Structure 1
Amino acid sequence: MGVRMSTHRPAHARRSTLLAVSLLATLSMLAACQDPAAQAQAQAAVQAEANEAAAGQAAADFDAAYAAENWVLAGAQGDVLLARWPDTAAAERIRPLHEEVRTKANAAREAARLNALWAYNTEAVKGGNQLAAAIFSREGVDSDGSGARPVRLIFRDHPSWGRSSYLVMQAGDFDCYGACRVSVTVDDAAPVRMAANRPDTDEAIAMFIDDERALWRMIDGAKRLTVDYPVKAGGTRTAVFEVGGLERKRLPDWN
């Protein structure tokens, strides 16, 4: 009777094979670790993959801000992405959009700055509400030698006194008691001479520009208003106002 040979490998033989495979893998890893070029290549691949993942998330945030037309936020997110991960696919994709966003973000910041220059006030008075829109000059003006101080331009709508436009100084005085003329320039247009007057009162150092409706219309859509006016200290002074942020709807009856 013949003897059948078993094809089942003993447990110790299988263990020996696994040990050999493991040893071979370990030796291969050690060889790679001992090869600086291979090690650097592996590390670079891992870092590149991590950069692409991080840039992809940043690009998703950029896309969300862009879709919401939040140009300031999108610009900031794009700045970070392009600075930290400039060589990624995500950076390449958003780069043209980022230029557009930066332009719009700068415009949005400038609009916000101009809007913030104006102050609005509603005050309950006899007969209704007094409405006012006021802005300080871009730079201080030295009207009497005591130092530069801001000049204020005010548009006022009073239920009894009607509509007024006037300048207010913190020091010095206007040389316009009774009547005078001031030079008014809007942006780069030619100067316009306008009638003005300084009320005989000590309540405020104020000078009214008589045709307030014309002045209101002149600054519609303008960026800059320049007023040259006479002062008691002698000569004239110049106040410049950045009027581009005026919310005209705040004084609805003027429009």
Structure 2
Amino acid sequence: MDNRSPARLRAALATAFCASLLALAACQDPAARAEAEAAARAQADEAAAEQAAADFDAAYAAENWVLAGAQGDVLLARWPDTAAAERIRPLHVEARARGNAAREDARLASLWAYNAEPLKGGTQLSAAIFSKENVDSDGSGAKPVRLIFRDHPEWGRSSYLVMQAGDFDCYGACRVTVTVDDAEPRRMAANRPDTDEAIAMFIDDERALWRMIDGARRLKVEYPVKAGGTRTAEFEVGGLDRAQLPAWN
């Protein structure tokens, strides 16, 4: 009993068939020989495409969309006119789309950093993300802005921005403009603590901000700076793992 897979068995039979055709063609005139060789090549292409399609089918069935998309790319590039290519073409479109979505989800998730720090009275949890583009807040050059959600055992929950240079013009109190995806901008209260420990500005209603970005992909915060005027930091928030701060949900 032949234990080879159907696809590999078909490939072996096709190879034997091609060999017999070529042997027969050697005894014929040039035109017939060329026709036989073309038929042999077509048969070999069909067999190779079937094997590649079997690999594609396995990845598709396993919902490994990135791998299925790559295997389909190879099949369609090398054997575009085969029956196997025609069969997998619509499935390949779907696999490519899902693979691209999976890569984008992974990219967004990688933008967030989570930390659990043991402190007196409990554990401080935080979720932080850097701005999509650096921001020049004081004329010294563009630098990252970070958004942090923190759950502190003593101070409770808070959300705030941190800059590396310059300063917020928000001592005491100010208002910032927050925009989530394509929604209408929202004005929110904020404050800059009178401390030199960090260049930080708190957005007062941290629970509202946390809810606003649930299911969102993009957050923009426009804030005043001591250098004059306002600056805007944009964050790609779609990959937030909300389970990392369970008390917020």
Compute the displacement of 1:31 (Å): 4.5
Compute the displacement of 1:46 (Å): 2.0
Letter in 2 for 1:71: W
Compute the displacement of 1:123 (Å): 1.2
Q: Deviations over 1:83-110 (max 9, x none)?
A: 0111111111101111111111111111
Counterpart of 1:64?
Answer: 58
* Bigger-Rg structure (1/2): 1
* 1:115-154 to 2 correspondences below 5 Å: 115-154=109-148
Partners of 2:25 and 2:106 in 1: CA distance = 59
Partners of 1:30 and 1:135 in 2: CA distance = 70
| 2:44 corresponds to 1:40 | no
Where structure 1 has 5 or more consecutive residues not aligned to the other structure, the ranges are 1-27
Give secondary structure in 2 for the equivalent of 1:107.
helix
| 2:103 corresponds to 1:109 | yes
Q: Deviations over 1:9-53 (max 9, x none)?
A: xxxxxxxxxxxxxxxxxxx86552xx3322222222222222122
When residues 38 and 195 of structure 1 are mapped into structure 2, their CA distance, relative to the original with a 3 A threshold, is same
When residues 152 and 30 of structure 1 are mapped into structure 2, their CA distance, relative to the original with a 3 A threshold, is closer
Q: CA RMSD in A?
A: 1.3
Give secondary structure in 2 for the equivalent of 1:121.
strand
Partners of 1:82 and 1:151 in 2: CA distance = 44
Q: Deviations over 1:137-189 (max 9, x none)?
A: 11111101111111100001111111110001111110111111101011111
| 2:221 corresponds to 1:227 | yes
Letter in 1 for 2:198: A
Counterpart of 1:198?
Answer: 192
Query: How many matched pairs?
Result: 226
TM-score computed with the length of structure 1 as normaliser? 0.86
Counterpart of 2:166?
Answer: 172
Partners of 1:30 and 1:174 in 2: CA distance = 85
Q: Deviations over 1:103-135 (max 9, x none)?
A: 111111111111111111111111121111111
Counterpart of 1:212?
Answer: 206
Partners of 1:31 and 1:240 in 2: CA distance = 74
